[in-house]
């Protein structure tokens, strides 16, 4: 067999032809000579990525029920949306929910501030950026991330729903990430509430009249989110979805318990 045809296996990776390397993994590990740039390369980054997931899971595992709130970091405290975000978060916190934000200024600060005023835990998931943003003073539990995808996992995994206020690319990124996960049923019983009809209606109309009309999404996909200006309506949607989710979890637990007890009953 020629060198081009031979196969070189390195754990889960298979190399042929020009992809073959002349040294083994353990040989390179034990060789103390050579450059040290490897600590900045992809295989080493995997360890940092893993540590971000481990730290996030460890810090948030016992968080309890929570909602993630998104919106522009550029929203000023005198903007009506700031007051709306603060009051919405306060209401949710008073109802026994924790609040997760990106931990920055603007809408994030307003939501953390509202949560901080009531019993809920105010959580901020920061991100390393080329410009300094910093965590707002109302964050009680803070986790900083290097990688957006690790941070985004925490927003989804530990929340029972999203509230999205007017924002830019980052806000839209979180919104469409959530809608994609709902559409593909990666998450279930996951409400998405858009606050601010004047801001979101043009986007909804584009989705309806262009995206859905052109067959790129189903018209039913527009039912995956709710648009409102009303705090009472938003809170009602979120609490109702949370109650349904809790009921579904209780039902699954009951079914698993019954299944576990069945073999014992047969044995008796």
Per-residue confidence (pLDDT) for residue 4, from 0 to 100: 46
Is 70 in contact with 165 (CB distance < 8 Å)?
Answer: yes
> pLDDT tens digits, residue range 30-49?
666 666 666 667 777 788 88
Strands 192-195 and 13-16: unpaired
Q: Which domains does the chain have, with CATH numbers?
A: 51-252 (3.40.50.450)
**Separation of alpha carbons 258 and 135, rounded Å:** 47
Is the pLDDT confidence value at 190 over 70?
A: yes
- Coil vs helix vs strand at 164: strand
Share above pLDDT 70 across residues of the chain, in percent, rounded to a whole number:
79
**Separation of alpha carbons 223 and 152, rounded Å:** 23
Q: What's the mean per-residue pLDDT of the chain? A: 87
**Separation of alpha carbons 54 and 59, rounded Å:** 9
Share above pLDDT 90 across residues of the chain, in percent, rounded to a whole number:
66
The dihedral region occupied by 236, where left means phi > 0, alpha psi between -120 and 50, and beta the remainder, is: alpha
Is the pLDDT confidence value at 264 over 60?
A: no
- In sequence order, the β-bridge partners of residue 67 are 99
**Separation of alpha carbons 146 and 143, rounded Å:** 10
Token code pair at residue 143:
């986790």
- 119-133 mean pLDDT: 86
Per-residue confidence (pLDDT) for residue 22, from 0 to 100: 75
Per-residue confidence (pLDDT) for residue 105, from 0 to 100: 96
Is the pLDDT confidence value at 3 over 90?
A: no
Per-residue confidence (pLDDT) for residue 182, from 0 to 100: 95
């Amino acid at each position: 067999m020629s060198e081009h045809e031979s196969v070189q296996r390195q754990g889960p990776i298979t190399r042929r032809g020009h992809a073959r390397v002349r040294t083994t993994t353990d040989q390179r590990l034990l060789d103390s000579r050579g450059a040290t740039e490897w600590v900045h390369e992809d295989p080493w980054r995997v360890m940092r990525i893993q540590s971000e997931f481990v730290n996030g899971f460890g810090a948030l595992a016992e968080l309890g029920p929570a909602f993630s709130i998104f919106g522009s970091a550029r929203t000023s405290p005198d903007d009506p949306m700031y007051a709306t975000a603060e009051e919405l978060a306060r209401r949710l916190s008073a109802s026994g929910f924790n609040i997760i934000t990106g931990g920055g200024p603007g809408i994030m600060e307003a939501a953390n501030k509202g949560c901080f005023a009531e019993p809920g835990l105010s959580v901020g998931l920061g991100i390393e950026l080329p410009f300094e943003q910093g965590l707002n003073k109302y964050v009680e539990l803070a986790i900083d991330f290097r990688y957006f995808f690790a941070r985004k996992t925490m927003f989804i995994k530990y929340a029972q729903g999203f509230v999205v206020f007017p924002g830019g690319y980052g806000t839209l990124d979180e919104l469409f990430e959530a809608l994609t996960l709902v559409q593909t049923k990666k998450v279930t019983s996951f409400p998405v509430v858009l606050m601010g009809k004047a801001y979101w209606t043009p986007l909804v109309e584009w989705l309806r009249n262009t995206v859905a009309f052109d067959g790129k999404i189903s018209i039913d996909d527009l039912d995956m989110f709710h648009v409102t200006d009303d705090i009472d309506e938003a809170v009602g949607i979120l609490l109702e979805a949370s109650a349904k989710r809790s009921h579904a979890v209780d039902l699954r637990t009951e079914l698993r318990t019954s299944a576990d007890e069945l073999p014992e009953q047969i044995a008796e």
